[in-house]
Structure 1
């Protein structure tokens, strides 16, 4: 595994991020590591039923997510210029960034879901099926 030069780790900030980075860094001490966190596109508009403005934009979401992603990166000595927050379909966004950065290994977490839960939450499977480089799933519980 020491042949990898550019690793992209798809992190879920709610589950297993530290575990993923710890295991990924155990694989190499020379690869450049990038982190990506993908969010759904924000829902915008006004809440007519409630009378409150429910407008949220990507800037507000980034302001909430970035400190968490930066703290995770800091705890593993990953430079902030290697942090990426994107919006949309997780597999598509991971594949696009992997191509842009010439990534040779994508690492994603696996939550060990089975049956219907696995079918409904197949982000890891989608990343595997469309990747143009090696993909490693690490069980995060």
Structure 2
């Protein structure tokens, strides 16, 4: 396996994110300083805004403020530096590809539940990451807890 020095790890802030990070650490020879964690969030929009004529869309700052503690906790648990955290807003695969290009990422790491058939054809984030990446992509198979 190549020696990767810039790894971008896509996490969703669930307990399963730990498995994805552990896979990235193995690929980075346990060097957490090479790992960048990224979480892609969407802007929540409330339906009531349209009824009263006001936009109740959360600001970028509010979304980032809500996501950061969970992302920081994951980083701290695995020894990943705080300046290697990225909170992106938009469509996950597109945002991750853009960040990977900007950072000259050598490996993108994401989780996969091993879906097959129609679920795979409909397109998961892992599938879209794989097909649009200009670097290697590692999918870590998520194992059921228990």
Q: What is the TM-score when the length of structure 1 is the normalising length?
A: 0.87
Q: Quick check: 1:105–1:133 contact (8 Å CA) kept in 2?
A: yes
- Segments of structure 2 that go 5 or more residues without pairing to the other structure are none
Pairing 1:5-20 to 2, within 5 Å after superposition: 5-14=5-14, 16-20=16-20
Q: Deviations over 1:22-49 (max 9, x none)?
A: 1221231346110111112332671527
Match of 1:128 in 2: 130
Report the Cα offset of residue 112 of structure 1.
1.9
Pairing 1:48-127 to 2, within 5 Å after superposition: 48=51, 54-127=56-129
Determine the C-alpha separation between the residues in 2 that align with 1:83 and 1:120.
29
Change (3 A) 1:101 1:53: closer
Q: What is the TM-score when the length of structure 2 is the normalising length?
A: 0.84
Greater Cα offset, 104-113 or 117-126: 117-126
Determine the C-alpha separation between the residues in 1 that align with 2:36 and 2:14.
18
Change (3 A) 1:56 1:41: closer
Higher share in helix = 2
Report the Cα offset of residue 58 of structure 1.
1.9
- Segments of structure 1 that go 5 or more residues without pairing to the other structure are none
Report the Cα offset of residue 120 of structure 1.
3.6
Q: Quick check: 1:11–1:17 contact (8 Å CA) kept in 2?
A: yes
Pairing 1:17-36 to 2, within 5 Å after superposition: 17-27=17-27, 28-30=29-31, 32-36=34-38
